[in-house]
């Protein structure tokens, strides 16, 4: 059995990436194509237009509200934007994983003067985001069509630094393995400014949860663990801000976030640093990847 298949089986019980699956009969598929990397389905259901990377119902990667396109549909996007509570005015932002462009579009509205580098390995995903989800890069948004880790390595060699890095790369299974390891996170740390902030979207429950958590902790130290359907890791390279700073920054963002359908204060109680994983869990590395780990686990 291949490593990829093992990872699929290990994560199959997790359910949808961002929301519970809907009956396929309720969907109206408006676009379907097989790209070099994945199957891309765009469909409409109960006033939402969504993208997923599999023919099977569920596992929605991105959705927009057709009547209120600015409204953020998924809680995980709101948790990712809560990274601004740690760094309210980042000047340079890196986003790995474009999807439907929802997160990048929100950043464009909230940070119109920030330079955003968006990276997506699949050119078809970028095209579908433009054609069906209203993703329109501005002069401040550069889209690179390449592997996210390759981009980070090149940025590291070039000496580029980012005030905010957002990791949101998924395929139809989970986060690609080479974007889960200690070596990759060390590279990401290297492109973060001295007080740079990281936001990483993961699953809130999986057989890899303990190991992912231990890997982030090994590279970055303590971090905030936000959970609602998904888990989002939030941290600041220079050390975590206190509760008063988080509350002050959230209050300053109240009005612009409300335009996106987000209650800024709602997310403050979710900022937890509690360790909810096995502290002796093995750290994921390039040499000992998730597939190696799952291979060694009892079935």
Q: Which residues lie below 8 Å from residue 27, measured CB to CB, with a gap of 6+? A: 43, 44, 45, 57
How does DSSP assign 3-44, residue by residue? HHHHHHHHHGGG--SSS----GGG-EEEEEEE-SS-EEEEEE
Identify the active-site residue in 147, 168, 195, 242. 168
Indicate the SS3 state at residue 111. coil
d(Cα 290, Cα 208) in Å, to the nearest integer? 7
d(Cα 151, Cα 55) in Å, to the nearest integer? 29
Assess whether 117 carries a catalytic annotation. no
- The residues assigned a catalytic role are 168
């Amino acid at each position: 059995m291949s490593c990829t298949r093992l990872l699929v089986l290990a994560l199959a019980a997790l359910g949808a990436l961002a929301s519970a699956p809907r009956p396929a009969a309720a969907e109206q598929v408006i676009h379907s194509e097989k790209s070099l990397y994945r199957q891309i389905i765009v469909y409409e259901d109960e006033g939402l237009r969504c993208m997923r990377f599999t023919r099977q119902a569920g596992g929605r990667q991105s959705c927009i509200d057709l009547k209120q396109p600015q409204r953020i549909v998924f809680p995980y996007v709101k948790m990712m934007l809560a990274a601004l509570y740690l760094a309210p005015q980042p000047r340079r932002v890196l986003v790995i994983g474009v999807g439907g462009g929802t997160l990048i579009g929100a950043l464009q509205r909230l940070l119109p003067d920030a330079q955003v580098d968006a990276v997506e390995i699949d050119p078809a995903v970028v095209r579908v985001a433009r054609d069906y989800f209203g993703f329109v890069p501005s002069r401040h948004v550069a889209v690179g069509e390449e592997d996210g880790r390759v981009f980070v390595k090149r940025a590291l060699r070039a000496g580029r630094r980012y005030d905010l890095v957002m990791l949101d790369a998924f395929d139809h299974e989970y986060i690609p393995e080479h974007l889960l390891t200690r070596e990759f996170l060390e590279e990401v740390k290297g492109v973060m400014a001295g007080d740079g902030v990281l936001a990483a979207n993961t699953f809130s429950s999986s057989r890899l949860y303990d190991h992912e958590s231990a890997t982030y902790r090994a590279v970055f130290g303590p971090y905030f663990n936000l959970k609602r359907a998904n888990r989002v890791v939030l941290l600041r390279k220079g050390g975590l801000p206190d509760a008063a700073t988080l509350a002050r920054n959230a209050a300053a963002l109240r009005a612009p976030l409300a335009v996106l359908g987000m209650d800024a204060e709602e997310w403050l109680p979710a900022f937890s640093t509690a360790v909810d994983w096995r502290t002796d869990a093995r750290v994921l590395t390039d040499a000992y990847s998730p597939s190696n780990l799952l291979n060694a686990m009892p079935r």
